[in-house]
Amino acid sequence: MAALVLPPLRPQFRALAQTFVPEAAALDEGGWAEAEGTIERFLAARPASVRRQLALLIRLLDLLSLARHGRRLTSLDAARRRRFLESLQDAPVLLFRRGIWGVRTLAFMGYYGRDAAAAAIGYRADARGWEARR
């Protein structure tokens, strides 16, 4: 199995995820485990280089936060963290824009991929298609 990406970066990733999906702040450890498990299974199917790039990006975001605000991502309040990420998603550097959108996509996948979130928003997709609803 591929090396896990999130465990060494768990606090930073959770801070990012809560910025993109504020409702994630209410997750308990079981909810986080389900969300992170979904993300890790997705990442396991990707090349090792992609997993390394994601880990590097999260570390870089943490260091940029420290350089810009004198605090790491986990120490910034939600509003300041949101403004910081918005500034990077609109940055002239394409790599930052893509990276922010990629981390946001992973956060959405993890949060909304949980059974509880799908039920809460009324998502009832089924592999059997419309037949399942009849």
Statement: residue 49 has pLDDT above 80 = yes
Q: What is the DSSP letter of 90?
A: T
Q: Is residue 72 domain-resident?
A: yes
Is residue 2 a part of any domain in this protein? no
- Check: CB of residue 19 under 8 Å from CB of residue 108: no
Residue 54 pLDDT exceeds 60: yes
What does DSSP assign to residue 134?
Answer: -
Q: How high does pLDDT run on average in the chain?
A: 91
The pLDDT tens digits of the residues spanning 66-121 come to: 999 999 999 999 999 999 999 998 889 898 899 999 999 999 999 999 988 888 88
In total, how many domains does the chain have? 1
Q: Is residue 101 part of a domain?
A: yes
In a domain, 3, yes or no: no
In contact, 107 and 17? CB cutoff 8 Å: yes
Does residue 58 fall inside a structural domain?
yes
Structural domain span for residue 122:
8-133
Residue 1 counted as domain residue: no
Q: In the structure encoding, which two tokens stand for residue 42, read together?
A: 């997705």
